[in-house]
Amino acid sequence: MDISEGLTLLSMFTLNVGLEPTAAENQMRYAAEQKLRNEILINATASMPGRGSNPITAITMLHVDHLRDLDQSKGTMSMSLSFLVTWMDERFRWDPKDYHSVRSVNGDKPSWSSAFWVPNIQIADMPSSQKSPGLFMNPGVEITVESSGTVKAFVRTSMTIPCYFNFGDFPRDYQNCSFTLLSPYYADEFQFNDWSTINSGKYGTPDQVPDTGDFELIGMEARNYYLFLGTQIVENFKGYSPRYCRGFLRYTLMLKRMNKLIPTLIHAPMDAISVFVGLTGILPDQEALMTLISCIGFSMLFAMQAAEVLPDNFNGMPTIGILIMVMMIETILLLTYKIFSIYCRNRKLKAIKGKNEDRFIDQIYKYIKIGDKALMVALPFQAAWNVYLTRNV
């Protein structure tokens, strides 16, 4: 913009020249839009556009509005979603110059004719439903037709989808939840676009990080597949005829556990138990025995608390749970050893006082002295190793 144009705009602002359309211009535009809408409705038919030529390609964009609930025991997640599906229908092309520069017409589904064609897209993997619901069965679908023949359908919906939980890495676990969009059309008539993915722009809520409970949505993946003759899943048409393939779009939501309180509830008690068990290697027998008894009692209370925190895992116990069990067994074995050690030492003292020779006790006592020295070195290192494991499992 040069200086003359800038001065012209400045003078217009200074003189308060109205830049908004006048009432008469708005009326003309409204009349042109209504005329255009009527013509679109006249041309609208329930038949698929482009039949017999190039297949219809649907670009499906998804925005996760809200993760409402994640049931770890049932393996399901409930959420609110927004879909924006775009396709071409050349029957609705027009020249904006003929309609007072109107470039698009929109409205909700009831405002359009029932003969207005929209693709039959169904949602699969719905545990709460015996039948796959149609994506556009919702009357709140908003449809926009553009002068280029582009049709955009925007719909908000809620659904419950299955999740394939594996808590082996709890509490630093990642989980996946998936669902599928499918269509009854064959691929020579209708296909999903390969780069259909998540959308967080104009047609969705503002950019945000949806989360629910302990989990946060960290990513999403969309993969396009085809079902050949209803029996074989293929990724492309190489060696297969589109005429016998039906397309489906697989969405996978990736979740990460973000509850920082859970690691604290687990790691802090485990660290304390590891340190006190390690101290028993350098404490005298009596003090070590009392310390181990205290550790066992504390371990039992901690195990009861951990059982409430750890999730139910149908594929096996989480690694952190296995580590808790190993530490408890280790403490019980050390306690057994200390009791046996104290018993043998007392027998040795009695034998010395009574000046009675007990070769069996003498032999056992030699091994106990070696064991005590080994534990004096090994247990502090074991305690440090346990603390490291609890921080990294």
Tell me the average confidence (pLDDT) per consecutive run of 10 residues in the chain, 393 residues long. 54 52 72 76 72 79 84 82 88 83 79 75 69 72 88 88 78 84 87 66 45 77 85 82 87 82 72 79 79 81 72 64 80 83 80 73 81 80 75 65
Residue 152's pLDDT is 92
84: alpha, beta or left, given left = phi > 0 and alpha = psi -120 to 50? beta
Q: Which residues, 6+ apart, have CB-to-CB distance to 57 below 8 Å?
A: 87, 88, 191, 192, 193
Q: Tell me the whole-structure pTM to 2 decimals.
A: 0.68
Q: Which residues, 6+ apart, have CB-to-CB distance to 44 below 8 Å?
A: 91, 112, 113, 115, 116, 117
Residue 206's pLDDT is 44
What amino acid occupies position 245? C
Residue 378's pLDDT is 80
CA–CA separation, 47 and 53 (whole Å): 14
- Per the listing, tokens 């679908």 go with 141
